[in-house]
Structure 1
């Protein structure tokens, strides 16, 4: 969008339906000159159509032109290829999130099958418009190991090509956790914050930084690999090739393994959640220990980057919200207090769809300021 007022005009057309320029000016509060420029841009981009209804044509005088959203303008899609599921989010021409969808699959499912699944989910979300070239753009989020070799680049490039062939448009790819950081600042727990640190505790551990309102990737695209900060030099081996990384103590698998190693009942996340709910001391101790490690790492990161807000999400937080208490306590104990307020620690507001929504924002960062409350009311995010 080439104008900062465009999303406001598109939102009004979506909310109220076709409007005359006069009515649109009254609702938007924009001056006639500004509105003229905004509408001209939207017409040029094909996001808006202008017409004169037959009933108005039959009247005397200069006919009043009516503006409406172009139903053929297409959607922007966000796709997350997670470890065992595909998640899709769709945004329409008015920059409104119109829906999300997901479907689980086995961890060994081939990539062409995953891409086909993403296409079916997206086609259903957009009312079959994919069959008539109804896509304006796609962003893709993927989990992956740190860039210790060319493996990640090769895999991401291959998936991007599969998506391009299936959907007929280029699909930029980024780390899922990093995209989730962006989504949380647009629609989620950190809406409106300019400096945000996001950490995802999932089957892997990763995150992202939003600095001055923009996603920060670092000089070589490696920013946000918080899961590979060393917390115990003599600890367990990590997938990255090092030992004692945060991922070895705070990922879903690491917490479940720690629970089992001390005789705990948790064999999977639902069982761990049930054990916590029943007051099992072993389960609470394991989760608290993992949260303490996370809190200490976040304290060190705060000293380096100074965020306004810290958002923590992922399957571990969703199943074990008690981990947030340990994280917040340890962060408060270890962070050096400066002249300003301490960063707030919040649970993810977008849950499992954070990365898919972030992939939408990756393609088009200038979205309307839809709040989490409105997404929930619309049934987009549960």
Structure 2
């Protein structure tokens, strides 16, 4: 169903097709929406929007869906519009350090499924891509149409570390370019790469704990500390694709050296390794996060103290980012976020103390909802946001009188 839109025609025809592309693009990026939501996001007049939507529904590119589940209100149920679910699919892959995670969805933002598989850290890229292919083939009971993916979909891929790419028209560099080429051959579809932590931020804003929020700050507290920003509904990459390195903001001036070359970075105080070291320095015994959480549940004072100290440093750093960027939601993910209130409460306390008063009541903090599959779901969202193929739908032929 997807194909290149026609470019010929007079100025009124081109204007109308521009309006169609705008509406289709909003549905592709944000999923099901009411006409009122489309009107706010598009800026089109009510008359123009209804005319454009009517044409797109008649052509089959857009379909109506039942209202979102929730309490029934008085009056007629609100109709939601979405892209035709059969029009295309997107696949997301997260190449984590020791596992491959995959997910898939159709262009109507309906999640098809997800799967994960651990592997040794030294596994070659060729073998890791092979695992991803096997996992994707297993989704939806093996009914995912991989053979059609190249014509109707795309693959969004998350990797560990910086990705020097700032938009869908710019190619990744070095070994990542080779990875993109390998994936493109295996899947026969456009491949978009980005940092997997940034993709987790986009996933949480699309399907997770911050779903529906346009401005989201995400922080992953794992063996490394990284983050991502969703600004006005879109992933923010910054100059040279280096945005989101929240773990390398100074938390303790003159503190411990960091592998980035700095000292006192948040990662040196709030990563899994740093927190476990602090716990052991206080006499605790834990070789991994589950043991620390078990000590926490048992009421171990040292476990509470190290998590409170880490949470306070996290909150101070996040407050600086909040004051600069102004997100409405902060999402905390990664293994340490499993500590729950023992970590979140000191984070919130530091935010209350350091965020500008006008912003305090408009800011919420929550735990990530998508777990380890977040990066893969973010790959799906990236493909839905940015794939050049998914942006193009067949347009009906118009005369200038119709326009």
Q: Normalising to structure 1: TM-score of the pair?
A: 0.75
Structure 1 residues 189 and 80 mapped into 2: Cα distance closer, same or farther (>3 Å)?
A: same
Structure 2: distance between partners of 1:117 and 1:128: 18
Bigger drift between 336-345 and 79-88 goes to 336-345
Cross-structure match for 1:169: 189
Structure 1 residues 39 and 109 mapped into 2: Cα distance closer, same or farther (>3 Å)?
A: farther
Counterpart check, 1:352 vs 2:366? no
Cross-structure match for 1:336: 356
Which consecutive residues of structure 2, in runs of 5 or more, have no partner in the other structure? Answer: 3-20, 33-48, 64-82, 165-171, 388-403
Cross-structure match for 1:18: none
Aligned partner of 1:200 among 213, 220, 240: 220
Cross-structure match for 2:35: none
Q: Offset of 1:328 from its aligned partner?
A: 0.9
CA contact (8 A) 2:352 2:360 kept: no
Corresponding pairs, count? 320
Aligned partner of 2:180 among 160, 179, 199: 160
Structure 2: distance between partners of 1:124 and 1:118: 10
Structure 1 residues 239 and 33 mapped into 2: Cα distance closer, same or farther (>3 Å)?
A: closer
Which consecutive residues of structure 1, in runs of 5 or more, have no partner in the other structure? Answer: 13-29, 48-67, 368-382
Q: Offset of 1:321 from its aligned partner?
A: 5.1
Cross-structure match for 2:114: 100
Counterpart check, 1:234 vs 2:254? yes
Cross-structure match for 2:44: none
The one-character-per-residue Cα deviations of 1:16-63 (angstroms, maximum 9, x if unpaired) are: xxxxxxxxxxxxxx97874443453639xxx9xxxxxxxxxxxxxxxx
Aligned partner of 1:300 among 286, 302, 320: 320
Q: Offset of 1:262 from its aligned partner?
A: 2.4
Give 1:50-129 correspondences, 5 Å limit: 75-126=89-140, 127=142, 129=144
Give 1:13-24 correspondences, 5 Å limit: none
Q: Offset of 1:273 from its aligned partner?
A: 1.4
- SS at 1:166 equivalent: helix
Q: Offset of 1:352 from its aligned partner?
A: 1.9
- SS at 2:239 equivalent: coil
Which protein has greater RCO, CA pairs closer than 8 Å, 6+ apart? Answer: 2
Structure 1 residues 203 and 175 mapped into 2: Cα distance closer, same or farther (>3 Å)?
A: same
Structure 2: distance between partners of 1:159 and 1:339: 42
Structure 2: distance between partners of 1:359 and 1:138: 7
CA contact (8 A) 2:348 2:365 kept: yes
Structure 2: distance between partners of 1:164 and 1:318: 36
Bigger drift between 30-39 and 238-247 goes to 30-39
Q: Offset of 1:4 from its aligned partner?
A: 3.1
CA contact (8 A) 2:89 2:104 kept: yes
The one-character-per-residue Cα deviations of 1:193-224 (angstroms, maximum 9, x if unpaired) are: 22221111112111111122221111321111
Structure 1 residues 131 and 340 mapped into 2: Cα distance closer, same or farther (>3 Å)?
A: closer
Aligned partner of 2:266 among 246, 250, 255: 246
The one-character-per-residue Cα deviations of 1:48-101 (angstroms, maximum 9, x if unpaired) are: xxxxxxxxxxxxxxxxxxxx9786x55210111112111111012543111111
Cross-structure match for 2:159: 142
Structure 1 residues 134 and 341 mapped into 2: Cα distance closer, same or farther (>3 Å)?
A: same
Q: Offset of 1:229 from its aligned partner?
A: 0.4
Structure 1: distance between partners of 2:344 and 2:237: 26
Q: Offset of 1:272 from its aligned partner?
A: 1.1
Q: Offset of 1:295 from its aligned partner?
A: 0.5
Structure 1: distance between partners of 2:52 and 2:94: 41
Structure 1 residues 132 and 336 mapped into 2: Cα distance closer, same or farther (>3 Å)?
A: closer
